């Protein structure tokens, strides 16, 4: 079975590739010749994931899944949420986003947060979603050099390391994207037996 993962983010592709079984061939947007920016104009994480999956299916006719992920911080009423990637501006710079978030939390005692991933699968002319959540807290400063996005300032519940300090296998096991992907894989495995 071949399926497209609708992202240009090479970090996400490598994370997901390590979880997908060998009997499912994961294609990137580059693999199908999609080089345009896929719209993300919805007001929710779920809405953006659906929009991206539908865009690829409609234009390329290939089964596809897309994800959208947001960091939701309690003390900021769920911000940055759907705007996580462009929190500090359209340049989508992770360092700028983290600096803005840390400055907003400077005098806050409540640093509870969660990462939320929604995967939308456009498959066999149907649309399904799979959600993964990882609860944790925002650290006082950046720690670690692995991962991407907000990983250096997010410490999952029950762990002392940030995502940026963890091995990829542990991050996948406990993380939001890994949880959503496992639900997706369970669903897809019903079709590839």
Which positions are catalytic? 68
Q: How far apart are CA 80 and CA 150, in angstroms?
A: 11
Q: Please work out, in degrees rounded to the nearest 5, the angle formed at the alpha carbon of residue 61 by the alpha carbons of 57 and 63.
A: 60
Written as six digits, the tokens of 117 are: 């991933």
* Terminal Cα-to-Cα distance of the chain (whole angstroms): 10
> Strands 112-123 and 80-81, how do they pair?
unpaired
Q: In whole angstroms, what is the distance from residue 150 CA to residue 42 CA?
A: 21
Number of helices (H), then strands (E), in the chain: 5, 7
Length reported for the chain: 193
Grouping H, G, I as helix, E, B as strand and the rest as coil, residue 43 is coil
Spatial contact of 130 and 118, defined as CB atoms under 8 Å apart: yes
Structure tokens at 115: 């990462």
């Amino acid at each position: 079975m071949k399926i497209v993962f609708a992202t240009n983010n090479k970090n996400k592709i490598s994370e997901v590739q390590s979880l997908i079984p060998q009997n499912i061939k994961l294609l990137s947007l580059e693999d199908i010749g999609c080089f345009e920016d896929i719209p993300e104009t919805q007001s929710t994480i779920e809405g953006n994931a659906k929009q991206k999956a539908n865009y690829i299916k409609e234009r390329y006719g290939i089964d596809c899944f897309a994800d959208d992920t947001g960091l939701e911080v309690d003390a900021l009423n769920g911000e940055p949420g759907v705007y996580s990637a462009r929190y500090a501006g359209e340049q989508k710079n992770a360092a700028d986003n983290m600096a803005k978030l840390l400055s907003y939390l400077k005098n806050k005692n409540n640093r509870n947060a969660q990462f939320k991933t929604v995967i939308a699968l456009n498959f066999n002319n149907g649309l399904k979603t799979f959600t993964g959540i990882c609860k944790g807290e925002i650290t006082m400063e950046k720690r670690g050099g692995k991962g991407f996005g907000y990983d250096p300032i997010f410490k999952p519940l029950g762990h002392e390391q940030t995502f940026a300090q963890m091995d990829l296998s542990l991050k996948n096991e406990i993380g939001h994207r890994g949880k959503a992907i496992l639900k997706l894989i369970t669903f897809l495995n019903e079709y590839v037996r």
